[in-house]
């Protein structure tokens, strides 16, 4: 999983192909719980670029995309949002994989 370093970098990822963004933070216990399963999820969906966005470093992106709870996932294709899994609740591997599998083609 790539770690976002700049908004320009995110814009480049969004133009390159399908992207799954994960809004997270170091202090978030629910984010730490899913961290060990993220490589497995990423390997299951090789067509997507996975990008971790630290909500504390990029609070303006959280505001822009209406992300109020973390961890939260937003999927993009051709630079447009195609789905989101945004809530303050802890997410399971199955829920995350179902979200990605159910995204429109």
* Digit-coded pLDDT (tens) for 28-47: 999 999 999 999 999 999 99
| Strand arrangement, sheet containing 2-3 | 2-3, 49-54, 19-24, 72-77, 80-85
Annotated catalytic residues are 28, 31
Give the residue carrying structure tokens 């995309």: 65
Strand ranges, E, within the chain:
2-3, 19-24, 49-54, 72-77, 80-85
Say how many domains are in the chain: 1
* pLDDT on residue 60: 94
Domain that holds residue 82: 2-101
Give the residue carrying structure tokens 């899913």: 34
Q: Which residues of the chain register pLDDT less than 50?
A: none
* pLDDT on residue 88: 66
* pLDDT on residue 58: 96
The CATH number of the domain where 79 resides is what? Answer: 3.40.30.10
């Amino acid at each position: 999983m790539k770690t976002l370093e700049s908004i320009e970098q995110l814009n480049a990822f969004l133009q390159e192909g399908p992207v799954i963004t994960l809004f997270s933070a170091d202090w978030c216990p629910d984010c730490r719980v899913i961290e060990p399963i993220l490589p497995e999820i990423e390997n299951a969906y090789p067509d997507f670029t996975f990008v971790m966005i630290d909500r504390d470093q990029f609070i303006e992106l959280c505001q822009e995309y209406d992300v109020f709870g973390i961890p939260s996932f937003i999927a993009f294709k051709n630079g447009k949002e195609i789905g989101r899994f945004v809530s303050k609740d802890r997410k399971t591997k199955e829920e995350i994989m179902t979200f990605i599998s159910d995204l429109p083609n």
